[in-house]
């Protein structure tokens, strides 16, 4: 057997072994590409009934949501919230409860409730079961096949590694032997007489070639969530071979109070970032007097995002972390999601990621048809 024949065998059997999972990952990747744009269109409870002159204090909104959710989910604890810098949008308050961390399916591991509340009236628009939301289901199917992470991550991660190898072996097989074959490898040369087998072969080879780099980026960034060792290894590499530990801040225990300075903290965050897209509040647990109150500020440009740490009782600003303040590994990890979904290039990047995912999902199908056609051709010729 020649070198290319060995590569062909490797390409074939790897493709057949991981094909179904790659199809699932590709299709769910397509569906999730525009989740940020589609969610406000699908869910009407993302919007208030009427814009008014004055909003209620964020602490009051949290208290209303907490009291209402406790009647339905008494064991869930308050974990944070999100406020969009848009007068038409509702405020989101999060509640969390761990059910069974060893459960097989992700929806049995924990229960999250998102309470959507009108900031002008305090009326609750929706109690959303986080695990049942459509795009959450799509993301978990994409990430773990809906299993818990201990089961699902190795499965999708292994399939992704096989897919990466398939892309590389596919490029080797695609590489033209001579100049006369170059033209056919770069674009479709279809005629009215072109048979479906040839069209299928071209779809597999030509589309696979053009989306190769983008599919590799999506696959390599996806491995970060699948394997912790890969995540740490890549960060270590970007840190120049060093493991960097971030200094942990603590609140002033001498002034600790259960009545946290939530309103002051939120007001300070907004004042420092008036043009931000949204604000995330990560509330410390009531029993943790040392924890800081963290806020995360999201801008349209990912490089402008910042995080802020406050003393949970005095509202004193303890630290501001910008993108420039992060280590090389932290910078990579911070941008990994945006690289994975293409949003680092804005909407055009998401479109590109969508088509790369679509082509990736089609490759196992067109590849199977090529193999099936050749297999039947051999059977016919042997008769």
Torsion, Cα 63 66 67 73, to 10 degrees, reads 180
Would you place residue 234 in the very low, low, confident or very high pLDDT band (cuts 50, 70, 90)?
very high
Instruction: Examine the pLDDT at 222 and tell me if it is beyond 80.
Output: yes
Q: Give the predicted TM-score (pTM) of the model.
A: 0.88
Cα atoms in the Cβ-side hemisphere of radius 13 Å centred on 12: 12
Edge-to-edge strands, sheet with 124-129: 124-129, 110-117, 91-98, 77-84, 278-282, 293-298, 306-310, 317-321
Angle at 166 between CA 164 and CA 167, to 5 degrees: 65
pLDDT at 50: 95
pLDDT at 18: 94
Let me know how many helices (H) and strands (E) the chain has, helices first: 12, 8
Give the Å distances, CA to CA, from 244 to 196, 239, 309, 346: 55, 8, 19, 30
3-state secondary structure labels for all residues of 118-163 = CCCCCCEEEEEEHHHCHHHHHHHHHHHCCECHHHHHHHHHHHHHHH
CA–CA dist 317, 72 (Å, integer): 35
Q: Tell me the pLDDT tens digit for each residue of 104-135.
A: 999 999 999 999 999 999 999 999 999 999 99
- Collapsing DSSP to helix, strand or coil, 35 comes out as helix
Would you place residue 330 in the very low, low, confident or very high pLDDT band (cuts 50, 70, 90)?
very high
Would you place residue 63 in the very low, low, confident or very high pLDDT band (cuts 50, 70, 90)?
very high
Would you place residue 271 in the very low, low, confident or very high pLDDT band (cuts 50, 70, 90)?
very high
Arithmetic mean of pLDDT over the chain: 91
Nearby residues of 213 by Cβ (< 8 Å), 6 or more positions away: none
pLDDT at 141: 97
Give the Å distances, CA to CA, from 282 to 99, 141, 212, 244, 262: 21, 26, 39, 23, 10
Nearby residues of 6 by Cβ (< 8 Å), 6 or more positions away: none
Torsion 344-346-352-358 (CA) sign? positive
pLDDT at 212: 95
Instruction: Examine the pLDDT at 383 and tell me if it is beyond 60.
Output: no
Q: Identify which has the larger pLDDT, 164 or 302.
A: 164
Instruction: Examine the pLDDT at 65 and tell me if it is beyond 90.
Output: yes
Give the Å distances, CA to CA, from 92 to 111, 301, 364: 16, 22, 40
């Amino acid at each position: 057997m020649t070198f290319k024949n060995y590569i062909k065998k490797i390409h074939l059997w790897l493709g057949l072994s991981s094909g179904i999972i790659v199809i699932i990952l590709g299709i769910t990747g397509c569906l999730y590409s525009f989740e940020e744009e589609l969610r406000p269109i699908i869910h009407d409870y993302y919007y208030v009934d009427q814009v008014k002159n004055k909003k209620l204090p964020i602490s009051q909104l949290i208290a209303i949501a907490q009291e209402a959710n406790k009647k339905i989910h008494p064991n869930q604890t308050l974990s944070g919230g999100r406020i969009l810098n848009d007068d038409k949008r509702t405020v989101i308050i999060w509640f969390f409860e761990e059910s069974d961390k060893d459960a097989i399916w992700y929806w049995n591991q924990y229960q999250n409730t998102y309470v959507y509340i009108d900031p002008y009236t305090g009326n609750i628009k929706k109690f959303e079961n986080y695990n049942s939301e459509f795009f959450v289901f799509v993301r978990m199917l994409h990430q773990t096949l809906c299993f818990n992470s201990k089961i699902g991550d190795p499965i999708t991660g292994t399939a992704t590694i096989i897919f990466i190898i398939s892309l590389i072996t596919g490029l080797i097989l695609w590489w033209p032997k001579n100049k006369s074959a170059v033209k056919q490898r770069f674009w479709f040369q279809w005629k009215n007489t072109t048979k479906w087998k040839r069209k299928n072969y071209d779809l597999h080879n030509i589309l696979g070639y053009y989306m190769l780099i983008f599919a590799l980026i999506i696959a390599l960034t996806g491995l970060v969530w699948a394997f912790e060792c890969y995540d740490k290894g890549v960060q270590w590499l970007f840190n120049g071979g060093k493991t960097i530990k971030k200094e942990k801040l603590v609140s002033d225990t001498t002034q600790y109070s259960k009545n946290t300075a939530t309103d002051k903290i939120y007001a300070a965050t907004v004042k420092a970032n008036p043009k931000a897209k949204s604000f995330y509040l990560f509330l410390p647990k009531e029993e943790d007097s040392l924890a800081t109150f963290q806020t995360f500020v999201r801008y349209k440009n990912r490089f402008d995002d910042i995080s802020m740490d406050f003393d949970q009782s005095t509202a004193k600003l303890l630290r501001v972390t910008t993108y420039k303040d992060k280590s090389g590994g932290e910078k990579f990890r911070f941008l990994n999601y945006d690289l994975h979904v293409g949003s680092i290039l804005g909407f055009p990047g998401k479109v590109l990621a969508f088509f790369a995912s679509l082509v990736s999902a089609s490759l196992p199908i067109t590849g199977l048809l090529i193999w099936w056609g050749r297999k039947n051709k051999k059977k016919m010729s042997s008769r």
